């Protein structure tokens, strides 16, 4: 029960009257420490390719990653998340390119680690969708995404990325039991300090469209991901997913997408008190970006959305806006 005064003794507007007073009573804050920047990578050299459905976001060839890392370091963004656009010639039904120790992601990790050591964190997705000809996150057998066989491959993918120098393994596939298996796989290979951010609560969402365009899995995807990603009608189920992943060894958990799921972020934070990461996904980004460029809303709306994640209880936010904004607002 909150005890409060009564009008006219209490006037809530008194503390809103001046800028200094508003700053004094402000409950939440946003800094670059709260942001993770997703970076799309592509083959070739000297490339910075725009993505039609994500204005202002680019795919970089590895030799141009230095520029984006330097920019992130200057702003003190703690971590980048790498996503590959795999040449369609390298895709097959089992996503075998995921286990190639010279694939795009492996080369990018090595490049960044060699140049920047531990100055910035590197997070990598664990899932097969950038590599499969059918665009699914797992192995497809008799029209089913098979769970346990997929997990075996994800464990190998995790060990490979971690041994290249990836700091944070982020399984985004939603297979059952993968966090525990990945943790013990990493430990067996003496990769005990590699962290796991589990995409514990990932909904089957329409907001991933531009991302799938960016990594080139959109055209490839057959059907939908509803047999493994969560139903957006549910929230109790999210808590069960998080409980399982914590028990299996997740260091942090992700809720994804972001804005339509603020209630879930808050529930997870309140119930489990562990680091929660919100993912402001590609569709959310493009909606806001397009509305700003058409002058429908002001660019300050970006801070408003990012702050909503902090208010809900997120410790950090994966956002394509991370390198575009100026936090002196």
Nearest approach, Cβ of 174 to ligand PBG (angstroms)?
A: 8
- The answer to whether residue 40 forms part of the interface with ligand PBG (CB under 6 A) is no
Binding-site size, ligand PBG (CB under 6 A): 11
Q: Can you tell me which of 84, 98, 103, 129 binds ligand PBG, judged by CB under 6 A? A: 129
Pairing relationship of beta strands 316-319 and 276-280 according to DSSP bridges: parallel
Q: Can you tell me which of 34, 137, 167, 241 binds ligand PBG, judged by CB under 6 A? A: 137
The Cα 326–Cα 106 span in angstroms is: 31
Report residue 6 as tokens.
């009564």
Nearer to ligand PBG by Cβ, of 159 and 208: the residue is 208
The Cα 44–Cα 178 span in angstroms is: 33
The region of 22-30, 44-52, 114-122, 123-131 touching ligand PBG under the rule CB under 6 A is: 123-131
Q: Beta-strand (E) ranges in the chain? A: 35-42, 48-50, 58-61, 79-84, 121-126, 139-141, 144-146, 168-171, 195-202, 252-256, 276-280, 316-319
Nearest approach, Cβ of 133 to ligand PBG (angstroms)?
A: 15
- The answer to whether residue 281 forms part of the interface with ligand PBG (CB under 6 A) is yes
Nearest approach, Cβ of 212 to ligand PBG (angstroms)?
A: 6
264 neighbors 238 (Cβ within 8 angstroms): yes
Nearer to ligand PBG by Cβ, of 127 and 151: the residue is 127
- The answer to whether residue 323 forms part of the interface with ligand PBG (CB under 6 A) is no
Residue 39 phi, psi dihedral angles, 5° rounding: -130, 125
DSSP 240-269: HHHHHHHHHT-SEEEEESSGGGHHHHHHHH
- The answer to whether residue 182 forms part of the interface with ligand PBG (CB under 6 A) is no
Residues marked as catalytic: 202, 256
For ligand PBG, the binding residues in 208-227 under the rule CB under 6 A are: 208, 211-212, 225
Pairing relationship of beta strands 168-171 and 121-126 according to DSSP bridges: parallel
Nearest approach, Cβ of 244 to ligand PBG (angstroms)?
A: 19
């Amino acid at each position: 029960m909150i005890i409060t005064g009564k009008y006219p003794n209490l006037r809530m507007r008194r503390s809103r009257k001046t800028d200094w007073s508003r700053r004094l009573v402000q409950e939440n804050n946003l800094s670059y420490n709260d942001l993770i920047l997703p970076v799309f990578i592509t083959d070739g050299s000297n490339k910075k390719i725009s993505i039609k459905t994500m204005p202002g976001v680019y795919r970089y060839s590895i030799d141009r990653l230095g520029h984006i890392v330097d920019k992130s370091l200057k702003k003190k963004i703690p971590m980048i998340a790498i996503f590959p656009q795999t040449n369609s010639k390298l895709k097959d039904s089992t996503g075998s390119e995921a286990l190639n120790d010279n694939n795009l992601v492996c080369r990018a990790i090595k490049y960044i680690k060699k140049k920047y050591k531990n100055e910035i964190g590197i997070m990598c997705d664990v899932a097969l969708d950038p590599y499969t000809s059918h665009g699914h996150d797992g192995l497809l057998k008799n029209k089913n995404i098979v769970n346990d066989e997929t997990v075996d491959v994800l464990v190998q993918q995790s060990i490979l990325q971690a041994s290249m120098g990836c700091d944070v393994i982020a399984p985004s596939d939603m297979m059952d039991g993968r966090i525990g298996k990945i943790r013990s796989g990493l430990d067996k290979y003496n990769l005990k300090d590699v962290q796991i951010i589990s995409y514990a609560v990932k909904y089957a969402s329409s907001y991933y469209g531009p991302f799938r365009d960016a990594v080139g899995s959109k055209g490839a995807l057959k059907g939908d991901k509803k047999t493994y990603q969560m139903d957006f009608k549910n929230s109790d189920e999210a808590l069960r997913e998080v409980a399982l992943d914590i028990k299996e060894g997740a260091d942090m958990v992700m809720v994804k997408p972001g804005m339509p799921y603020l209630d879930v972020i808050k529930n997870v934070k309140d119930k489990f008190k562990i680091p929660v990461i919100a993912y402001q996904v590609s569709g959310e980004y493009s909606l806001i970006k397009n509305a700003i460029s058409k002058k429908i809303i002001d660019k300050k709306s970006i801070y408003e959305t990012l702050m909503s994640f902090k208010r809900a209880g997120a410790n950090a936010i994966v956002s394509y806006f991370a390198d575009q904004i100026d936090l002196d607002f």
